[in-house]
Structure 1
Amino acid sequence: MKWLEVMAEQAELHGQRVVAETLGVSRTVVSQVINGRYPGDLGRIQRLVEGAYLNRTVMCPVLGEIRLNECLANQSNTRTTGNPLRIKLYRACRSGCEHSSLDQVQDFKVQGIAGRRNEYDADGTIRRLTIQAGDDKCELIALLKTELKHLGIKYNRVMKERE
């Protein structure tokens, strides 16, 4: 396993802390992998090492060619508020990207396009915003405020068009 040899070599040269920071894992994970005692997903660690140290790349539908470890980091990112690029990445990683290792594929198409254009999917929006916010309640409140502002803008636009 070349990737494991490379990981051990990098830990020897730079220390386990540096390798852990580069891969986005803990020092404990690095130690367990090197010593053959890691109980988690070795395939994920292999992909991280191949991206970070062996220059393995993938073609991201949003960013173009990126390192595999960056792809995995983008998949695990749930903080998307206020950054259009992060929102695009979040959606791309969860809507069938061939490089995504996420279990669930979510449909981000606008609800009700076929014959129900004026319906707003409040439950779907709340689910999406809750996922984006994670466990951060303040973040969820900020996302909901932004959503309400956008709804107000859309409502005002529709009312002006009716006049």
Structure 2
Amino acid sequence: MSARPRTDFLARVRDRWPDPVPDWVIALAEACTARTQPVVGRQIGYSASAISATLANTYGGDLDAIAEKVRGAFLGREVDCPRKGRMRRDVCMAWQAKPFAQTSSDRVAMFHACRSGCPHSRLKGE
């Protein structure tokens, strides 16, 4: 039995997105072609269906959040975290998404740092 041919997600993106296609959408499509949508989705914290809808330009959620995660995970975008120093943007966003937990002093400090005026925080009014 032969292996299933890989989907060319870049071709799909070029059919669905207006020119010029954003750099992060191209990076997302290339990552999905090299791996799979579920693997890429898990890597950046989204479902395969959210990745599919993003590539099809039909995602109804926060595209800016997906863009920032893709730029961090696949395009190497970094930020200067006031608490931890340089980190990829997707890692920064993962820290912001964690709920409060007293599991470690670092976790508590990061929770507060992400909610205390950090310039990279996407949290509103928490």
AA matched with 1:58: V
Aligned-partner Cα distance in 2 for 1:37–1:80: 35
Q: Which residue of 2 aligns with 1:31?
A: 52
Aligned-partner Cα distance in 2 for 1:26–1:49: 14
| Equivalent residues, number | 105
Q: Determine whether 1:40 maps to 2:61.
A: yes
Question: What runs of 5+ residues in structure 1 fail to find an aligned partner?
Answer: 106-163
Q: Which residue of 2 aligns with 1:4?
A: 25
Q: Which residue of 1 aligns with 2:123?
A: 102
Q: Which residue of 1 aligns with 2:43?
A: 22
Other structure's SS at 1:39 match: coil
* Residues 1-163 of structure 1 mapped to structure 2, 5 A cutoff: 1-105=22-126
Alpha-carbon offset, residue 16 of structure 1: 0.2
Give 4+ residue runs of structure 1 displaced > 2 Å after superposition: none
AA matched with 2:37: Q
Q: Which residue of 1 aligns with 2:13?
A: none
Aligned-partner Cα distance in 2 for 1:93–1:79: 11
Aligned-partner Cα distance in 2 for 1:34–1:82: 37
Aligned-partner Cα distance in 2 for 1:21–1:104: 28
- Identity within the alignment, %: 35
Alpha-carbon offset, residue 33 of structure 1: 0.2
TM-score normalized with structure 1 length: 0.63
1:1-43 CA deviation, whole Å, 9 max, x = no partner?
1110110111011010111011011111100000111001111
Moved more, 78-87 or 1-10: 78-87
AA matched with 2:125: Q
Larger Rg: 1
Greater relative contact order (Cα < 8 A, sep 6+): 2
What RMSD, in angstroms, separates the aligned Cα atoms of the two structures? Answer: 0.9
Aligned-partner Cα distance in 2 for 1:13–1:27: 15
Alpha-carbon offset, residue 80 of structure 1: 2.1
Structure with bigger helix share is 1
